[in-house]
Amino acid sequence: MAIITGGSRGVGRGIALRLAADGAPVAVNYRRDVEAADEVVKEIAAAGGTAVAYQAAIDDESAVAAMVESVRRDLGPVGIVVSNAGSASRGSDVAGTPEEEFLSLMRVHAFGPIGLIKAVLPDLRAADRGDIVMISSNSVAFAPVRSAPYTMAKAAMETCVLTLAREERRHGIRANIVAPGLVATEMGRRLVRTGGKTIEDLDATYPFGRVCRPEDVAGAVAYLVSADGSYVTGQRLLVDGGGPDVPLF
Ligand SMILES: NC(=O)c1ccc[n+]([C@@H]2O[C@H](COP(=O)([O-])OP(=O)(O)OC[C@H]3O[C@@H](n4cnc5c(N)ncnc54)[C@H](OP(=O)(O)O)[C@@H]3O)[C@@H](O)[C@H]2O)c1
């Protein structure tokens, strides 16, 4: 079975639908929007799959521990963990960003996910195969201005995942990173609004005539956790159409 954090909308919703369609029972984690999480669960059930929604803020250690216990009780041992939940930083430059914002983004994108992974490691190690997939961002490679708390936290977590790949392969665990560029989700729409644009404005200027969709990211995750991905670990798979050749927005 698979836990997808932030599975209630956007990229996480796409991953939950895809892994469920590929046959995995799915735990759909969300933070606030229970209606959205319930919609995903209903959509999976209507298509013949199995899914349950679980509320827990990823940066709340005791809530995450309680969620993992509930998931095990309801759906059995965890075989796949997709660390996807996240939010952007507020858009200040480094000079104007208080320490608390750096810490907050580190809790959401690094310390929280590490806590979740540690909580499910006994299940992953006990199985013939376990998978850890982190949803990062292609921005880690080019450090855009006014997003240091977000980019730093993603970079920190990427390093941890690559370390896990080496440490845990002796236990049959694969650990990989999927790094999208801009994706057409609420987060993506908010980001482009700050530049006075919409995703639809940008579609024609993007590689292959469109901004990345959640299904594109989900396809990469599905490959990594499939039998075809079983000899792939410690990789960072970019899902950004080959990268921007013009300013993003
Ligand atoms: N969109 C992009 O352009 C883009 C590009 C590169 C990478 N990414 C990465 O892709 C991932 C998903 O982003 P998205 O675009 O799908 O974002 P989104 O549309 O804003 O959805 C975010 C999801 O994460 C959940 N969430 C947020 N903070 C949480 C927390 N502290 N604990 C638990 N759940 C939390 C939300 O649940 P609630 O609604 O219940 O709060 C929601 O399900 C993120 O890691 C993001 O950094 C996005």
For ligand 1, the distance from its centroid to the CA atom of residue 85, given in whole angstroms, is 4
Four-residue CA torsion sign, 118, 23, 185, 140: positive
On the CB side of 218, CA atoms within 13 Å amount to 20
- Under 8 Å between Cβ of 79 and 26: no
Instruction: Tell me the C-alpha distance between 89 and 82, whole Å.
Output: 21
Confirm whether pTM is higher than 0.95: yes
Tell me the per-residue pLDDT of 44-100, one tens digit each, with 9 for 90 and over. Answer: 999 999 999 999 999 999 999 999 999 999 999 999 999 999 999 889 999 999 999
- Under 8 Å between Cβ of 37 and 27: no
Instruction: Tell me the C-alpha distance between 134 and 112, whole Å.
Output: 12
Instruction: Tell me the C-alpha distance between 192 and 91, whole Å.
Output: 12
| Residue from 15, 18, 31, 41 to probe ligand 1 pocket by mutation (most atoms less than 8 Å from CB) | 31
Residue whose Cα lies nearest atom 25 of ligand 1: it is 6
Which amino acid appears at position 48 of this protein? G
Rg value, the chain, Cα: 17
Set 150, 206, 223, 231: catalytic member: 150
Q: How much is the pLDDT for 132?
A: 99
Contacts of 121 (CB under 8 A, 6+ apart): 168, 173
Q: How much is the pLDDT for 246?
A: 54
Residue whose Cα lies nearest atom 43 of ligand 1: it is 6
Residue whose Cα lies nearest atom 46 of ligand 1: it is 86
**150 classed as catalytic:** yes
Is 190's C-beta closer than 6 angstroms to any atom of ligand 1? no
Is 180's C-beta closer than 6 angstroms to any atom of ligand 1? yes
- Under 8 Å between Cβ of 189 and 201: no
Burial of 65: CB neighbours in 10 Å, binned 0-12, 13-18, 19+: middle
Q: How much is the pLDDT for 248?
A: 53
Instruction: Tell me the C-alpha distance between 29 and 85, whole Å.
Output: 8
Spans of the chain, pLDDT less than 70: 244-249
Is 15's C-beta closer than 6 angstroms to any atom of ligand 1? no
Q: How much is the pLDDT for 142?
A: 87
Atom of ligand 1 nearest to the CA of 136: 7
DSSP state of 182: S
Is 11's C-beta closer than 6 angstroms to any atom of ligand 1? yes
For ligand 1, the distance from its centroid to the CA atom of residue 87, given in whole angstroms, is 5
**Domains, in order of start, for the chain:** 2-181+219-239 (3.40.50.720)
Is 9's C-beta closer than 6 angstroms to any atom of ligand 1? yes
Burial of 180: CB neighbours in 10 Å, binned 0-12, 13-18, 19+: buried
